[in-house]
Amino acid sequence: MPRLDLVTFLVDDYDRAAAWFTEVLGFSLVADEPATTDDGRAKRWVVVRPPSGGSGLLLALADTAEQRAAVGHQAGGRVAFFLHVADVAERMASMRAAGVVFEGEPRHEAYGDVVVFVDLCGNRWDLIGAVEKD
């Protein structure tokens, strides 16, 4: 059965990005291995995943001018990623303590409480809390 395993996430520094995802978002570092580009240059295969599993992010070092320009703008300014958590307020508090910038306060939607935050590169994410059942 097909499933989406990895999404490329352009970064300007492997170590800084891996630390941010593991220390700030609580992701697991599941791979950090030497690799080679198609043209023979050294690179790394760095993968982080949320603790619940599911799709991961391949942290890819931007190494061309076009790629460097896309760091932090992977969705052209739109929200690019969606992180579901049990409790938005609780997660916001820990993320704010780690220096994460939020765009406003949570709003309630039919699918849960949601607030936009900005990652270490400048990409926008939705932080989405579980819908409370009556």
> pLDDT tier at 1 (50, 70, 90 boundaries)?
confident
Mean of the per-residue pLDDT values for the chain? 94
With tokens 């409370």, the residue in question is 132
pTM of the model: 0.92
The structural domains of the chain, ordered by start, are 1-71 (3.10.180.10), 75-134 (3.10.180.10)
Q: Return the CA Rg of the chain.
A: 16
Query: Do 115 and 71 form a contact (C-beta atoms < 8 A)?
Result: no
For residue range 36-60, list pLDDT tens digits in order.
988 999 999 999 999 988 899 999 9
Residue 52's pLDDT is: 87
For the record, the structure tokens of 130 come out as 């579980």
In the predicted structure, residue 73 carries a pLDDT above the cut 70: yes
